Structure 1
Amino acid sequence: MEQRNEQIPTNQTTGTEFLTIEDFLDSVRRWKWIIISSTVLAFTVSYIYYYYQPNVYLSTVRLLYGKTTQEVSLFSGNFGSNQSRALGNELELIRSRQFGELVVTAMAESLRVNPALARFPLFSTIQGTGNPYSVLGTVLLNRNATSPRALDIINISFMSSDPEEAAIIANILANVYIVNDLTNNRTTQSIVKNFIKTQLDEKAQDLRKSENDIQTYMVQSGIVTVSSESQNVVSNIASLEARINESRLQIGIFEEEIRIAREQLKTLQPSSSVEFSGYSDSYIRILQQKIAETESRRDIQRATLDTAAPAAKAEMERLEREAKNLRELLEKRIEESIQSELPGSNTMELVRQNQNKIAVGTVSIVIENFKIEKLQTLLADYEKRFQAIPTKNVEYARLERARRSAEELYLILEKKYQEAIISELQINTNIKVIDLAIPDFVAVEPQRARMVSLLTVLGLLVGLGLSIGLKKMDNRIHKLDDLEKLNIQILGQVPVDEERLATGNLIKDISAIVQEMHRQISININYILNRKGRENGLFLLTTSTIPQEGKTFTGILMAGSLADLGYKVLLIDGDLRRPTVDKHLPIRKFPGLTELILNGDLSGVQKVESFHSATFDVIASGTIPVSPVPLISSEEFMSHINKFRAQYDYIIMDAPPSLSVGDVYIYAEHADGLIYVSGAELVNKRDFIRQYRTIANRFGPKVLGVVLNKVRKNHLSSQGNYYYYYSSNQK
């Protein structure tokens, strides 16, 4: 061992310290009961909790989402730029509270139709409360909608404590979704149909009034007919008026469709006000004019010619085909213009359709107005002929004209109303059912084995975390590594003596491994102090930070070890406050150090046999004084110490702990060396560093180093483990 240098401890533990595997295993060993308790508690609580949890069953309806790539449901009030976003909007629709309200209403209706459903929990609640909204929260919590990635599939599922109820409500969810989708798809056509129905009812009243008026006039006047020429004029005028009113009705329909389309556009594109602006397109204007002229000729022929005649019928069919072809060209042109005008190449289909309806409707209104203008021009000519009817027949002709006009318009409206009904019924839902929900009697929750396993593992991790946390918060000294980090001279380590007896003689009670380690410590101290060649003996102190760290234990065993090495040793119990040397050796407590200082009584010097039959002398504490400081500060005390230096090679004094009292500082002023004993896991590093630094700063080279006492076997350094191995092989 090289000659030591003075070393002052530095607190190197303030930085970040990484937990080593050794530290981790040590924390597991030290706090294993915390880990075991945490794990067992987690297992027990989770097992009891999930054991009493009711089973939950899941049923799912699979639907095919059949809308176009960029179309979305109007009911959802949102849109997406692609199929994924459209599907996402539909899923949010199904998860919405508004949809949930429709579902509970449908559940109540199903219960009314089939009272047997009351045997299921949710239906029973509806029946008991009489309010379907009493289960709304449960329905919202247990329903779900998902869509597999890259597939146009919607899975609507429901969870319930009853597998049959789960299947029934899942099917109700799907049915409500399909019905709403169908309703939304028919929205525009339903509004148009209702508009026509309103007009039809009004014209039916007009027709009945006209018929009553002419019947009354015929009875009162006796006139029941007019000339064939007058009849022809009245018939033509009535037909022209019916066609004019038909065009006005058509304008009303177009205006209603435009209004609906604009409302839908506001929903789809709230921040956009872009509309078709290609009405000035020359090609569109030409088509408008041709359609108006063609349909005007068709309507005039209907009104003025015998459409049953072959030639007239053929001409009518030709004009119908021509008008149809022209309208197809017009709609195609408008669609192309809209596609080029609206920003982006991925314009939504539904937006495009509504823009197209607005454009076609606007252009068609212009056409209808043109037709009205043409028909009114012809009607003006027939009005002149009507004025030429004889005066006596004018009133009858007027009433007949009103009746025929109302009758023709009523027939036109009736035809259009029937067409609207058929058109509405032809519009179907975009959703198709792939699989209806069926009861699945395998519970999806609670997943008892999985959850108990997970929570047990969580309990284990919590226990490990607590043990690591306690390890990190533990600021005590455990092993030599902790002292080495503090840059402190180390004299040796001593394990916890698991084989120690209890006869009252520490020299005889101690195990061979502990004896050997103290012998090595004594050799180290002897080498450091270079005892050879010295005339006087060396005065050594043993102290610690706090009581119970083993300083007395170390002093006694060092005395025995040095005696076995052939040195004359005197052990003095210098702790005059709480003396303990006499408790560990077979010696008398009185007389002792107190009597020696006060009276010069040397009868207290007693001999004790060491490990291997050598002996060393011991002076107990004697009587405990009221205040030890005057005694140990006296010249008498130092006089006796100096005398002992001439008689012994080593005088070892067991001094009080440094944190408790200041006696050790008085002793250290006259000592040749100080041995600082630290008990493993007994003192925290802050107190140890503060006290050791104070002593080292004051007494410098006198501080020989630290003996780490009561070290756990698993914390011993390699040298200590070798001693254990060697000792076990000697037995």
Structure 2
Amino acid sequence: MQPATTWASSEISIRDYLNIVRRRKLVIVITALVVFAVGAVVTFRTPPTYRSTTRLLLDTGPPGFAQYMGDPMLSQFFVQSNAADIDTQMEVLQSEGVLSATYREAGVTPGSVNLIVSQAGTTNVLDVAAESTNPEAARRFLDALPRVYIKNVTWNRKEEINNAIEFMRERVKEETEKLRQVQAELQALRQVSKVFSVTEGTKNLVELQAQSLVDVRKAEVRVQTAQAMLEALMAQRKGMPEWVTENESVTNPEIARLEESLANLQTQRRGLLVLFKPAAPEVQEIDARIQATEERLKQLPQTITTTKKVRNPELIALEQQIAAAKRDIMAARLELAGAQDNAAR
């Protein structure tokens, strides 16, 4: 047979714990007394903390404003504000500005009160608590907090409204100045156009348009008339000869020459009569020449007719008329262009 093996249990029983406590009871008692004494001393030396609580109900009713599509400066007054947002108001209540104002309002030393803000479930109610070692300070602080909070919200809203009012005053001033300028320009336009009413202006406008159409038609007729006149003159010009024959009657130049020769012969005869008698051969010769010259002078015609080729004088006058017709066409076309431009406006 195999020998029986005995194993010692490694587990500690309750009896073992009790034995340890009996052996160490003095140490345990002393430790408990020390801890109790320290706790008692700390408790007696720590000042008591007082809490004052209240509740705030936030109005989160829907705004009664319709959607505003006007000036961005005023849009904040016509859209739903986030002032009723619970988280936002909790932050506002615990903000440095509100706390500082509450301390001053309550006459409490800053930092002597601890503010605790929480939401009551999912409602619009805020649980507000003020803790302080001074019960009067906690009470006064919590009494002043709602007043400061309401004043802060009201002041912010009032400041926004005042800013908006001031902005609108400036806008009204600017628009009034613009209106004054427009009225001045309108008055100046009325003075120039002589139009002082819409009905009269419409009537004048219709009359001006009708007159413009009449002017256009007149100018077109004038252009057509001038063009027809030019074409008629050009056709007449083509049918006229460039050169014509011209007869001219002038005094016969031979008569003047013979008269001069006769005068010379008579002068010579008078000179010879001083030296010779009329029957002298020298004088007789001069007399014969004088008689022959007189006979020839009697036979000559008093005038002679010459023929020459000259430029047709009627053609010169006609070309002047053609040039005038071309100028009339140019003036009529300019008048037509001006009338068409006025009618197009």
TM-score, with length taken from structure 2? 0.40
Bigger fraction of residues in helix:
2
Larger RCO (alpha carbons 8 Å, 6+ apart):
1
